[in-house]
Amino acid sequence: MIILYTFISEANHQPLLDRYLPVFSQESKQNILRYRRWQDAQLSLLGKVLLEYGLKTYYNISDIETDVLTNKKPYLKGNDLHFNISHSKNLVTCAIAEYSLGIDVEFNDQKISYQDFIFQMTDKELQEIQNSEDKMKQFFMYWTRKEAVIKAHGAGMILPLDSFEIINNECHIVGEKFFTKEIFIHKEYHSCIASSDQKIKEVMPIIKYIEEDILL
């Protein structure tokens, strides 16, 4: 598994658009340009760019075509590799593996209060957070695990966070078992990966920062 990440830059926004929009599909162009804020547009663009860069650099795959399943989860057409993209604040990351997975990153926003999200937690999860010495760190661990599992499952917003419980980095969703693993990408962000394949419990992913200049 490889995990690539980079940060958005306003100075590089137009050069990135000039470089990649002409080679992206019409659908990808529309998805990127529909955003009003340059930050959102660039996060979307860089997710696709990191995917292409990762496939070409680490798997020698140049021509890729993506599509979405009926549950809206994206996949690579005609290829056994899997990928997932996540972004938060100024960071965007792309994970690529030989098995289905989900990745979630969350900015360590100290303005957030875990009490605002109590309605999305089970009683046991809430107790775990409240009993922790660092409640906000525990909250972000809870949040990234849940989001990574939802993305690995592919259910999206139709699966409430409090509808399943992760214990010892494992959980069940409608008879399917999922595993989670916390990873470190950047000190200002919390991050986690998840998969229905238990290989993820032991995996030591290659985590690489890609400077935007390399992508231009």
Which residue ranges make up each domain of the chain?
2-215
Asked if pLDDT for residue 164 goes beyond 80, the answer is yes
The model carries a pTM of: 0.94
Does residue 156 carry a pLDDT above 70?
no
- Per-residue pLDDT at 53: 95
Which three-class secondary structure state does DSSP give residue 175? Answer: coil
Q: 107 or 28: whose pLDDT is higher?
A: 107
Neighbours of 63 (CB within 10 A): 8
> Rounded distance, CA 216 to CA 211, Å?
9
The listed CATH number (3.30.420.40, 3.90.470.20, 3.30.565.10, 3.60.10.10) that belongs to domain 2-215: 3.90.470.20
Average pLDDT over residues 38-49: 96
CA distances from 129 to 13, 53, 60, 164, 201 (A): 39, 38, 43, 16, 23
pLDDT at 200 over 80: yes
Arithmetic mean of pLDDT, 75-80: 87
pLDDT at 214: 87
